[in-house]
Each structure stands twice: as structure tokens, then as C-alpha cells.
Amino acid sequence: QSVLTQPPSVSAAPGQKVTISCSGSSSNIGNNYVSWYQQVPGTAPKLLIYENNKRPSGIPDRFSGSKSGTSATLGITGLQTGDEADYYCVTWHSSHWVFGGGTKLTVL
């Protein structure tokens, strides 16, 4: 059981917007950066967001991140079928890096 809580699944139609939450505590999210990763089945995770809201080069601005208090949120607009994947949040907690349990995004 992770110290970071994510919804197991979310879904939305193509072209729509979806948000994925990551809930933690003052011991992790509340005082540290959050990063987000996309993992398409059968492939390695890919960094989408770092330092709460920054995108690496090559990541489209359809992906956004935010943090408030002890929670973080990943937003995806203009959903595409290629966005179907598992999404994970990561942060620092008690001298370790921890992953959230993951959220499976289905694009209906």
C-alpha cells in the first residue's frame, strides 16, 4: 500500500479533459516536488511532469501538473486514444522515492 493515493481508474471520451489526483501528506507531497509518469503497456515509464508543473522537452502542453497542499493533480486535455496508459505520481518520502499506486486511463 503506497503512501500516495491515486484513483485506480479514470475514463473519458476522445477530445475531452481528464484529471488524475495523487493524495499524500506533509511528509511527502506537502514538502517535496511531484513528478508524473506515463506507462503504455509493454513499455518503460516516461516522464511527463517534474517539479510539480514543468514539462520535459517533447511533452505536449496537453499535459499539465499542479500541486496544492498535500495533493497533486495531472491534467490531460484533448484526449487521444494514444493516451490510454497507466499514470503514476512520484515524490520524496522519508529518505525514499515513492510511487503512487497508479491510475489506468481509458479513452472511451
Q: Provide the minimum distance between the beta carbon of 12 and other proteins in the complex, in angstroms, as a whole number.
A: 22
How far is 5 from 108, CA to CA, in rounded Å?
24
Distance CA 28, CA 82 (A): 31
Q: Confirm or reject binding of residue 8 to other proteins (CB under 8 A).
A: no
Q: Are 66 and 72 contacting, i.e. CB atoms less than 8 angstroms apart?
A: yes
For the bound state, the minimum distance from the C-beta of residue 50 to other proteins, rounded and expressed in Å, comes to: 4
32 forms part of the interface with other proteins (CB under 8 A) = yes
The CB-of-80 to other proteins minimum distance in angstroms stands at 22
Return the residue of 45, 62, 75, 106 that touches other proteins, per CB under 8 A: 45
User: What are the cell numbers at 80?
Assistant: 487521444
81 binds other proteins (CB under 8 A): no
Exactly one of 51, 69, 78, 80 binds other proteins (CB under 8 A); that residue is 51
CB of 9 to other proteins, least distance (A): 13
Asked if 59 interacts with other proteins (CB under 8 A), we say no
- What is the chain's length? 108
Residue 70 near residue 26, CB atoms below 8 Å: yes
Q: Of 18, 102, 106, which is closest to residue 62 (Cα–Cα)?
A: 18
